[in-house]
């Protein structure tokens, strides 16, 4: 299958180049505690051995940054660093990585009075000094608040596109062009639409594709396949990640799944449809990373999936998130949302927080609220038919 790809610019990430017709790169992210140097190095090398072109590591503190420098000494893999909420850590991590990822929505969490443009300028300066690429990572659950406020709650796509375009223009003005963009959502249809719209405005910018919180396999692979098949078949996309909720020792499955999807697209074996809006239960969960504060999160996601099988024919969304960074925002649009802390699970109905419950008490609460939602929807359907 011959695919005419968008004429994006070339962006070098260590020994790999994306864009400008280069092969589509496959990425993943570590799920170990970054401060556990031995475990993180082992996972980086396992992912690289599985075929990862780039491996991302989250850094959320000075201790993480110190550990990252040690990890760098133990691997030859191309490393990307996720700055999370503390953009200033770029000064410590840039010498040790090949790419820096920042989220425009997270630039507001520190030094709130400082313009975001100044913060990006620091990131770009450090990246340029150390030969790093940059990823502008726009996420549905943590959109730039200034952009989100301009549009209705029902329009989550336009603020994402505007935020990405604005940051591209700022990086261009700074003279920094070694950047790519990602625009991610847990809904494959939205991933398709937001990336299609951005690519129409900035066809020159390489795109990192993925479905965030895709969830447990095989569902998470199916969701990601839907988005990637539709976009890459249209020439959109230069690097990908399949985000799966799996235990640490199974993280290389993300690379295997990504390679398989690319292989099938290249061979013309595209079998998805764009519309993912089926009238069935949708469970989304994040792929886990070093931000997860309790490894019971993955087991909890499995338990929620098993518990809710009886509701499979109901069009409801349950989100299970592993940390405080994206969890609060990314559960807002779900009918029921769980985001996990060290000892408790925060439980939400839509944007409303119902409380924080111990891990061994949360499942009955989920079932209770799910039953109430099903009963309410049944009542609404009966009322409309009366």
Q: Is the pLDDT of residue 203 over 80?
A: yes
Of 167, 166, 179, the closest CA to residue 205 belongs to 179
- Counting the structural domains of the chain, the total is 2
DSSP 214: B
Highest mean pLDDT among 67-71, 142-146, 306-310: 67-71
227 with 306, same domain? no
260 with 357, same domain? no
Strand partners, 147: none
Share of the chain above pLDDT 70, in %: 93
Question: Does 48 fall in a domain?
Answer: yes
The span from the CA of 205 to the CA of 338, in Å, is 35
234 with 343, same domain? no
The span from the CA of 166 to the CA of 98, in Å, is 24
| Residues 31-45: b if buried by 16+ CB within 10 A, e if exposed | bbbbbebebbbbbbb
Q: Does residue 207 contact residue 180 with C-beta atoms inside 8 Å? A: yes
192 with 139, same domain? yes
The β-bridge relationship of strands 54-58 and 282-285 is unpaired
288 with 322, same domain? yes
Residues 6+ apart with CB under 8 A from 362: 300, 338, 345, 347
Measure the N-to-C terminal CA separation of the chain; round to a whole number of Å.
Answer: 52
Question: Does 35 fall in a domain?
Answer: yes
Q: How far is CA 236 from CA 21, 153, 175, 228, 296, in A?
A: 11, 27, 24, 9, 36
pLDDT value of position 326: 63
pTM (predicted TM-score): 0.79
Task: Report the 10 Å Cβ neighbour count for 74.
Answer: 14
pLDDT value of position 278: 52
Question: Does 4 fall in a domain?
Answer: no
* Mean local confidence (pLDDT), 30-54: 97
Question: Does 261 fall in a domain?
Answer: yes
DSSP 50: T
pLDDT, tens digit, 9 for 90 and up, residues 322-366? 877 666 766 777 899 998 888 999 999 988 999 999 999 999 999
Q: Is the pLDDT of residue 298 over 50?
A: yes
75 with 128, same domain? yes
What does the mean pLDDT of the chain come to? 91
CATH number at residue 311: 3.30.413.10
The span from the CA of 353 to the CA of 351, in Å, is 6
pLDDT band per the 50, 70, 90 thresholds, residue 304: very high
Q: Does residue 282 contact residue 318 with C-beta atoms inside 8 Å? A: yes
246 with 286, same domain? no
């Amino acid at each position: 299958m011959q695919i005419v790809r968008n004429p994006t610019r070339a962006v070098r990430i260590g020994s790999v180049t994306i864009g400008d017709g280069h092969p589509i790169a496959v990425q993943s992210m570590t799920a170990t505690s970054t401060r556990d140097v031995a475990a993180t190095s082992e996972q980086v090398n396992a992912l690289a051995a599985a075929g990862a072109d780039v491996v991302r590591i989250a850094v959320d503190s000075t201790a993480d940054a110190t550990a990252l420098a040690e990890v760098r000494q133990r691997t030859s893999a191309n490393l990307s660093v996720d700055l999370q909420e503390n953009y200033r850590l770029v000064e410590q991590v840039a010498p040790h990585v090949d790419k820096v990822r920042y989220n425009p929505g997270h630039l507001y969490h520190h030094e709130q009075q400082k313009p975001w443009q100044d913060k990006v300028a620091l990131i770009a300066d450090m990246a340029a000094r150390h030969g790093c690429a940059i990823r502008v990572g726009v996420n549905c659950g943590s959109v730039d608040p200034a952009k989100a406020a301009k549009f209705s709650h029902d329009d989550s796509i336009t603020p994402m596109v505007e935020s990405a375009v604005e940051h591209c223009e700022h990086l261009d003005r700074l003279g920094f062009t070694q950047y790519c963009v990602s625009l991610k959502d847990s809904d494959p249809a939205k991933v398709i639409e937001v990336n299609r719209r951005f690519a129409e405005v900035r066809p020159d910018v390489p795109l990192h594709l993925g479905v965030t919180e895709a969830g447990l396999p095989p569902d998470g692979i199916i969701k990601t396949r839907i988005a990637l098949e539709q976009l890459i078949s249209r020439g959109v996309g230069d690097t990908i990640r399949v985000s799966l909720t799996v235990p640490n020792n199974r993280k290389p499955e993300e690379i295997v799944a990504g390679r398989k999807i690319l292989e099938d697209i290249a061979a013309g074996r595209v079998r998805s449809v764009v519309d993912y809006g089926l009238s069935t239960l949708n469970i989304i969960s994040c792929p886990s990373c070093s931000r997860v504060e309790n490894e019971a999160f993955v087991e909890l996601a499995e338990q929620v999936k098993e518990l809710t099988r009886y509701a499979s024919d109901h069009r409801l969304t349950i989100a299970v998130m592993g940390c405080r960074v994206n969890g609060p925002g990314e559960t807002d649009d779900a009918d029921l949302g769980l985001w996990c802390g060290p000892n408790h699970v925060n439980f939400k109905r839509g944007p409303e927080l119902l409380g924080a419950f111990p891990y061994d008490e949360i499942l009955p609460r989920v079932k209770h609220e799910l039953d109430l939602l099903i009963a309410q929807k049944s009542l609404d359907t009966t009322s409309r038919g009366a």
